[in-house]
Structure 1
Amino acid sequence: MSAPAAAELDAADPLAAFRDRFVGSDDPDLLYLDGNSLGRPLRELPARMADFVEHAWGERLIRSWDEGWFDLPLTLGDRLARLALGAAPGQTIVGDSTTVSLYKLIRAALTARPDRRTILVDRGNFPTDRYVVQGIAAERGATIGWLDPDPSAGVTVDDVRDALSDDTAVVVLSHVAYRSGHIADVPGITAAAHEAGALVVWDLSHSVGSVPMELDAWGVDFATGCTYKYLNGGPGSPAFLYVRAGLVEHAAQPIQGWMGARDPFVMGPEYAPADGIRRYVSGTPPVFAMQPMAAMLDLIEEAGIDRIRAKSVALTEHAVRLHDELLAPLGARLATPRDPALRGGHITVDHPAFPELIGALWRSGIVPDFRRPDGIRLGMSPLSTSFSEVDGAVRRIATELARAVGSPAR
C-alpha cells in the first residue's frame, strides 16, 4: 500500500486527533511500533504529576489517605472494570505487579479446588505466567499439565477440552498471545473448564485497553494484567486483578497484608480479611504510580473502547497488507492469524535475518519489538499510532531486510 493511501487512512481516522496528546508523536525520526510493550506517555502528565506533588501530596500530606488514597485501588479498579473489562463494581483492584497478582490468583484458585492437583498452562504463554505456575506447583505439590498449541495461532477450546481431567484445578491462559497476537475464546474456554469442575485465571496484559471484553458475561473466574502497555501507565506501573463476585468471599488470597485486613488501623494481633475485593489488597498501594493510568482512562472513556478496537483492527489490517506486499517477497512469514476477529493489537513477522537487524532498526529510529527465535513484533497502540507511522516503519524494515538478503526492496 502506498504512502498516499496511508495518508488517506489517517485523514479518515476518527481517532486521529488523539495521537497529538502523546509525547513524541510529532517526532518524524521515531517510528514507534512497540506500544504493546510500553505505551507512550501523555503530554498532560508533567502538569498532572506536578499538581499531585504540590497539592495531594505536598499540601494534604497524610490526610490524602482519608481523602481518597486509601480507596484508590478499588475506585480506580472499578473505573477500569467499567471502561475496559466489562465488569461490575466490587470485583477489581489496582496494585502489585502482574507477577504478584498471578501468584495470588493461581494460589487462590488452587486452594478453592482442594481435591485437585493439576494446573493447566500452555508452553507458549508469557514466561512469567509459566514461571509462577512452576513455583506454585513446587510449593504446593501440584502437577503441571502442558498445552502445546500451534505457535502461529493460540490455545483453542478443543486444546483445553482435550487436556482437562477430573484432577484439573485451574487453567492459566492469556487472552491475547504475547507472540502471535491470537485472541483466545475466553467464554468458550472458560465454559469448558467449568464443565470439568476447574477454574480459569486469565492474563489480560496484551488485550486490556485495545480489545473489548465482557468478564462478567463470559463467566470469568479470575483475571489480571499489566497497565504499561495499552493503558499507558508507564514503566513498572501497577497491575490490576479481577475476582468474580461469587468467588471474592470464598477464594482466599495467600499474601495477607494490613491494607487488606477488615480493620487495618486496629493493628490487631490476628489477620481477618476485609469484606469484598479489598481483601485482595496486600501492602500499601502505589498511589503515585497510579496517576498516569488514571489519565489514560480519561482518553479511553473519551474515545470509547469499541472505536479503539475498530482502529486497532484497521491498523493491523494495514500492517498485514504491507507484510504481503513488501516483506513476504523477501522470505518473511506472518506468524499471526489473518482473521482480524482472532487477532489482537499486534502482528509478528518471522525471518531468519531479523535477529541481526533489530539493533540497527532501533538505532535508526525504527522501534518494533523482537521475539525469539526470529520474529519482529509490530505493536500498534490505537490512540497513539498512525497509519503513516506503520507504513514508514514497515518500508524501512523491508529496505533493511532486502539489503540483508541481497534482494532489491519493492
Structure 2
Amino acid sequence: MPTMFGVFACVVGGCGLQPPTVSGGGSVVAVAADAGEETPPAPLGDDVVSEAEPVPLPPQGVHEAPSPDIFGTWLLDGGAMLTTFVSGVEVTAMILNEDGSGRVFLFDGQTGTRDCVQTYNVFDGETLVLDFSADPNLALGVERFFTFPVVVVVVDHGALGVADEAGQIAWFSRQSALPQELTCGRLEIQRTFENVPAPSFFSDLVPFDGDLVYNSQDGLIERFDLNTNRLGVPLGSTAGRLVQTVQGNHFWTHCACGGSPDAFRRDLNTVFDTVSTPNELGDFQTIRAMAYDSVDDRLWLHGRLQSTGLASFSIVDTNGEPDVLVQSIPFNRELRALAFDGTDMWGVVTMASQSVVRVNAVTGEVLESFEVPDEAVVWSGLTFDPFHMYMLGTDPAGAGVIARIRRP
C-alpha cells in the first residue's frame, strides 16, 4: 500500500512519468520517463479532450492534525512510568489541566504511603513534559530531576498511552473522578500562628504542661502558650536536648550528634533513662523521630539502621534495664515528625513531597495519607491535644509557623 507521502508524490510528479507536453498541433504527447520515444498523438474527435485537465494541487502550507485531547483525569490501567523519579514508588493516576497545572499520584508499596504531587504540564501534540518544580514542598533529594518528558504513544477520548525516558509504557483510562483510595485526604487549618521562631531541623513539636514545646534555630527550647496563643518564656537553651516526644512529665530527646543513636528520657536537668540502639537494641540506628505510645507503654523510634541502610520503626520496652526491642517494622521513608493520638501513630513522611500519614500502631501499616495543610511550608513537627492536631513548620520566608488543625 502506498504511503501518504507516496500518494502525494504521484499526484505531483506522475509516478514515474515526466510532466505531459503539448505538441505543435495542440495534441497531448505523453513522454515515458525511460523509453525515450514519443507516443503517437491521439486523434481529435467530439468526445476527446484536446488538452489535459489541470491536476489540482494540495493547498500550500503545513497542515497539522488537531492536538489530541490529553487533558483530564487519568487512571493507570497497566504498565509503569517515572520509576526513576522516586525509587520504589509507582504512578497510579494523573490529572492534567488545560491551564498547565496538574497532579501526579504516587504510591509506595512498601509503606503504603500515597503522595499527591503538584506538577506543571506542557504538551506539544507529541510529547508531554511533567515539571515537578510546581510543588514547593518537593524533597531535596529529587530536586535535580524534577522535569520528565514522556512521549504520547496513543491518545483518544478514553485512553492514553505514554512512554517514559526509560522506555517503559504506561496505559491510562479517562475517568470523571479518581477512586478515593488513590487520592490524599485534606487537613483543615482552623488557625495559623505565624512569625514564631523557626524550628530546628531536628526538633519535633510536643505538648508539655499546657504549652507546645519545640527547639528553635535560635538554640532555645521554645514554649507556645495554648491559652493565650502567644510565645512564652523559653524553657532554656537546647544544649543537646532536641525534644521528640513526652512521657508523663519527662521529655524524650536526642542530641543531634554522632549520628544520634541514643534516646534520653529526661527533665531539663536530669537524664533518667538512656536507650542505646547499638548496645541495647542490636543495631546502630540514626534516630530522627520518636513517639511514646501511652496505651501500650512503648517508645517508638524511627531512623536508618547502620547494618542495612534502610529506615524502620523500633518499638521499645523501656521499663527495665536493659531496654528491650519488642518489634522492628520496616518503614523505609524519611520521617520529620511522629506522634501518638491515643489510637494510631501519625507522621510527616517524605517521598517526592511531604505527606501526613496515619499509621497502625500495631502493624506499622499506613492507613491514610493526607496532603500537608499548606504546601508552601516545610513541616517538621506534629502533635495532638484532645481536640486538635498541631503542626510546626518553616514558611518560604524562613519564619516559623504553627497550624491548629481540625482533628482528623
For the criterion TM > 0.5, the same-fold answer is: no
Normalising by the smaller structure, the TM-score range is: under 0.3
Point out which structure has higher relative CO (alpha carbons under 8 A, 6+ apart). 1
When you count strand as a share of all residues, which structure comes out higher? 2
